Amino acid sequence: MSEIKKIIKGCLAGNRRDQELLYRRHASKLYAVCLQYSGNDEEARDILQEGFIKIFENLDHYKHEGSFEGWMRRITVNTALEKFRCRHNLYRVDDIDTIQEPDAEPDNQDYAGLEADDLLGIIRELPTKYRMVFNLYAIEGYSHKEISKMVNISEGTSKSNLSRARVILQRRVGSYIGIKKKVANE
């Protein structure tokens, strides 16, 4: 029996040590996902906590088919989406009609200076709806049809949100790289 199977078995038996082991092994990766989907640390912490509670509660539904980490990630993303749907009306989506597409996208070489921390910071600055759609499409690989059901928007809105998210991200990546270069030159 693989180690993860043993840990899952222990968790299902209520073994606290195995539960904690499971948490310690995967919490860091899942917390990064939570940060990606949330606007602030407190919300990310809530998503992580609620997500793990759901993972433990639904562990008996995991069929040992496919990646366990992927299964946990899906639960975490769904928890983030639930939170988003609950607070949907509280968020204000910036009117970005005035946002112009940048003249030139930085080439791939320019990306080299960007760390994961930087990318996370940039993605978290996106308006919530755009962040959700961008994450689901670009990172998780869902289609617009799937996203429209998950976020409760039309496919067209999903496409438009993605497009606008990309515009914002390109602009911010560009300015971020510019700032970094400037700092480096100084």
Partner 1 sequence: MNEKGANIDLLFRNGLKDFEVLPPPGVWDGIHSSIKTKSRPIILLRIAAVVTVLLALSFLTYRWSRGLSVGPSGPVIAFNVPVSLPVISSPGDNLQYLPTKKYNQLNNSSDILIETDDQAPIQKEIETTAYPEQIVNIKDSKSLSIAKYETIAGLFLTPLNESKRNSIKIKYPELQYFPENITVKPEKRWSIAAMASPTYYSSFNSGSDALSKQLSAADQPLMSYSGGVAFSYKISKRFSIQSGLYYSSLGQKIDGINSFSGFQQYANTKGDHNFEVLTTNGTVYTNNPDVFLSTDGTNRIVTAYTKDVFDPNKASLQPVNSSLDQNFSYLELPVILKYKIVDKTIGINLIGGLSYNLLVNNSVYTTIDGSKYSVGDTKGLNPLTLSSSLGMGMEYNLSGKLSLNLEPTFRYYLNPFSITTGSFIHPYSFGIFSGVSYKF
Interacting residue ranges for partner 1, rule: CB under 8 A: 10, 14-20, 23-24, 27-29, 31-32, 35-36, 41, 45, 48-49, 52-53, 56-57, 101, 105, 108, 111, 114-116, 119-120, 123, 134, 137-139, 162-163, 166, 169-170, 173
Residue whose CB is less far from partner 1, 31 or 71: 31
Residue whose CB is less far from partner 1, 98 or 108: 108
Nearest to 144 by CA among 129, 160, 125, 168: 160
Min separation Cβ 58 and partner 1, Å: 12
Residue whose CB is less far from partner 1, 81 or 173: 173
Min separation Cβ 89 and partner 1, Å: 27
Residue whose CB is less far from partner 1, 93 or 139: 139
Residue whose CB is less far from partner 1, 68 or 137: 137
Min separation Cβ 100 and partner 1, Å: 13
Min separation Cβ 90 and partner 1, Å: 23
